[in-house]
Structure 1
Amino acid sequence: MMICSKTLPLKHSLRHFLAAAVFLFAGTATAAPERVISTGHSITELVLALGAGDSLIAVDSSTRLPADFKKVPVIGYYRQLPVEGMLSQNPQLLIGGEQMGPANTLTLLENAGVKIVKLPEAENGEQLIANIDRLSKVLEKPATELTKHVVAQLRELKRARTSLSEAPRILFVRAQEGRGLKAAGTGTSPDSLIRMAGGVNAVEFSGYKQLSDEALIELRPDWILFSSDQDAQLQGGAALLEWQPLLKLTPAGKNGAFCSVDGFALLGGMGLASLKEAKKLNEKFSGN
């Protein structure tokens, strides 16, 4: 009887303990993250568009926040994130693209209990929608309205591409005086933007590569694009003609067909800013 009288309260207490533990664990597992660090402009704009701005406590230097958004710390660059600076913000979740790192920083953050979510750098609309869906689950925010908006933009861009009489040949470059031109090939954000706008990349290699003088003529670009962070340096394209006179022999050079692209639309794969830039480019390609 003594044993029985002591065992019943023990079992009773154990049941309550386990029930409480399950309840607490379930609450923790399903709770939306309240302290989020987002890196990469295309990722951060999705976080905001999904309505998770209140949870955002820091961003990296590649992110452009809306002018009326709250002030948050800017911590490093998404490829070189500092451990100490990030841990000082006491984050629950770190979100970024595939290039986020370095690896040892991410390992240390995970060991400290920070959840790490890496999203693929979207190269097309389908991958962008997939990123929205995954991010909505991680942040526990509904994605229906944002997805509808993006799908509508993608349909509009598809119609605009088909309306072009001919796909123009596009060359995206990075340039410095005395150092020639580097062009963006396949597997780059500019290449995705070019295709989304209805153009054809004038180069077929992957990544960024230096162009020879002969190639500048052979590629015959109809348009030459460059990032907005080089707009002043390149004087809207005029400096390119001075640095590389052979460009004057190309259709783009003859017609002065130069265009600056929002640099933030080129960071971290295709994002919402990329769709806006694709529309702008398509209008230029079509003469509107």
Structure 2
Amino acid sequence: MQRRALLGLAATLPLARPARAELSRIVTVGGAVTETVFALGAGAQVVAVDSTSLFPAAARALPQVGYLRSLAPEGLISLDPDLLLLSDEAGPPQSIAVLRAAGAPVAMIPDGAGAAAVRRKITAIAQALGQDGSGLADAVAADWAALDAPIAALRPARALFVLSAARGAPLVSGRNTHADALLAAVGAENCVTEFQGYRPLSAESSAQRAPEVIVMMEHALAEAGGIDGVLRATALSVTPAAATRRVVALEGSYMLNFGPRAAHARRDLAARLHPAANLPALPARPWV
């Protein structure tokens, strides 16, 4: 019934105008999508973004359309966009169906983690914009590849990625997450492998895994009360990481978006996990 009601709503919405050869009103949804559009030089045409689009600073000054997983189709269509660039994580599915039924110019961009996923995102977004994105894609790939051999030579650090430690048992990353892919890319071994996605971790389970380092997003670390607050959590206080106070944090979208800044984020996190490593400096890219 909800789906029928939403599709019925599409019939009452004004049809979005057909995409023009020159795009002047672009809406981007998804942090990596927004970063890539700006990196490709089309930031001036972006008129609205979602709440996960935190970089570059110019994106944060734009009107917001809400959270990418809970989009309101009528609000998007009211912006009269030439192009809606949506991460394929955007939703709910009913809202995407309404947008399509209303004739909105929707382009879904595949999400994912890792070097190949970054290239796919850049290529798909460039095609939607009518551009050749090979220059950007090749540059990011070259920066990423420059780190492969130096990082492969490192002894992997046993790491635990903590999504949140502010309330109750810490929520940690298992397999098949962006965080899991990130740890593998920076010379770390995710010590949680028996489940996929994110789940709470008990003190007994944490002690058995014995992580040497805890990796977090900066805002999650702050919400938990800093390093002291994190290490007071029962499940984390029993770890080797707590004994050495090894908690490493970076800005969340920088670490996990896997957009044009992915190679630089990889290097920055690897350097923090392996402070004695001799990692090559990466070029100063304008999109970073």
Which band: TM-score by shorter chain?
0.7 to 0.9
Deviation by residue 1:43-97 (Cα, 9 ceiling, x = unmatched):
1101111111122111001111433569421111110111222111101221122
Is it true that 1:121 corresponds to 2:108 in the alignment?
no
Cα offset for 1:29? 7.6
Unaligned runs of 5+ in 1: 1-27
AA in 2 matched with 1:190:
A
Where does residue 8 of structure 2 map in the other structure?
none
1:261-283 CA-to-partner distances (Å, cap 9, x unmatched) read 2111356x522344332211111
Q: Which residue does the alignment assign to 2:170? A: 181
**Greater mean deviation of Cα atoms: 144-153 or 174-183:** 174-183
Tell me the CA shift for residue 32 of structure 1. Answer: 4.4
Q: Which residue number in structure 2 is paired with residue 17 of structure 1?
A: none
1:285 partnered with 2:265: no
2:281 aligned with 1:270: no
State the AA in 2 paired with 1:135: I
Give, in angstroms, the shift of residue 217 of structure 1: 0.6
The TM-score with structure 1 as length reference comes to: 0.82
What corresponds to 2:57 in structure 1?
A: 67
2:159 pairs with 1:170? yes
1:198 is matched with which residue?
187
2:97 aligned residue (87, 103, 107): 107
Equivalent residue number for residue 232 of structure 1: 222
In the alignment, which residue of structure 2 is the partner of 1:260?
Answer: 249
The question of whether the paired residues in 1 share the 8 Å contact of 2:31 and 2:253 is answered with: yes
Using the TM superposition, give the Cα deviation of residue 250 of structure 1 relative to its aligned residue in structure 2, in angstroms: 2.2
Amino acid at match of 2:145: R
CA distance in 1, matches of 2:272, 2:61: 36
Match of 1:56 in 2: 46
Unaligned runs of 5+ in 2: 1-17, 277-288
Query: What is the Cα-based RMSD across aligned positions, in Å?
Result: 2.2
- Cα 1:97–1:29, aligned 2, differ >3 Å: closer, same or farther? closer
Task: Supply the AA of the counterpart residue of 1:241.
Answer: L
Q: Normalization by structure 2: what TM-score? A: 0.82
Q: How does 1:7-156 map to 2 (within 5 A)?
A: 31-68=21-58, 71-156=61-146
- For these two proteins, the number of residue pairs brought into alignment is 258
Corresponding position of 2:203? 213
Task: Work out the CA distance in 2 between the residues paired with 1:190 and 1:201.
Answer: 9
Larger radius of gyration: 1
Q: Which moved more, 1:232-241 or 1:133-142?
A: 232-241
- Give the aligned residue type for 1:278: R
Which one-letter code corresponds to 1:233 in the other structure?
E
Residue 6 (structure 2) aligns with: none
Question: Structure 1 residues 70 and 127 mapped into 2: Cα distance closer, same or farther (>3 Å)?
Answer: closer
